[in-house]
């Protein structure tokens, strides 16, 4: 697998997890926080969330999966977030050709804040091989009031 393919795979998995998480928040009776998610890009690989009821909570105003080739879609994503009074936080992975995307984000008044670390292990590596005192609980595939409050 090439570095680009590996990056795309990690981006996809993290985006799907965020979309699911925000979907659980939106499924709380009446969606009191005003959670919305959307997909952008020609194949929907960009996942965005906005939470109008918590516009000042930056991690909820989240855009994930944007790659250097997606520079033309930045304005659409920004407009979608702004329609709910939210300023997005773009989570980006370093990639070749990042300059034009960085310029578009800078022109929109966004800037770099911090780096986040992500550990990636071979798929064959199991948690049991790393530790023997961890219990993994599977969550129900329905909204959980406990997790969303």
- The per-residue pLDDT for range 1-39, each reduced to its tens digit, is 566 677 777 778 888 888 998 999 999 999 999 999 999
Task: Please provide the DSSP assignment of 6-34 as one string.
Answer: HHHHHHHHHHHHHHHHHHHHHTSTT-TT-
pTM (whole model) above 0.85? no
Q: DSSP class of residue 42? A: T
The answer to whether the beta carbons of residues 13 and 137 sit under 8 Å apart is: no
Percent of the chain having pLDDT more than 70? 73
User: Taking all residues of the chain, what is their mean pLDDT, rounded to a whole number?
Assistant: 80
Give per-residue pLDDT as tens, 56-76: 888 889 998 888 889 999 999
pLDDT at 124: 53
Banded pLDDT at 149 (limits 50, 70, 90): very low
Which residue ranges make up each domain of the chain? 3-148
Query: Across 5-14, 42-51, 105-114, 127-136, which has the greatest mean pLDDT?
Result: 42-51
């Amino acid at each position: 697998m090439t570095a680009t393919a590996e990056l795309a795979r990690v981006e996809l998995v993290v985006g799907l997890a965020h979309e699911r998480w925000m979907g659980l928040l939106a499924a709380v009776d009446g969606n009191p926080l005003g959670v919305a998610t959307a997909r952008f890009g020609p194949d929907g690989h960009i996942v965005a969330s906005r939470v109008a009821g918590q516009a000042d909570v930056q991690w909820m105003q989240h855009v994930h999966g944007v790659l250097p080739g997606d520079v033309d879609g930045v304005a659409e994503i920004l407009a979608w977030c702004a329609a709910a009074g939210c300023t997005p936080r773009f989570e980006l992975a370093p990639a070749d050709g990042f300059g034009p995307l960085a310029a578009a984000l800078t022109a929109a008044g966004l800037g770099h804040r911090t780096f986040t670390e992500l550990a990636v292990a071979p798929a064959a590596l199991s948690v049991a091989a790393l530790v023997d005192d961890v219990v993994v609980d599977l969550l129900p595939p329905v909204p959980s009031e406990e997790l969303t409050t």
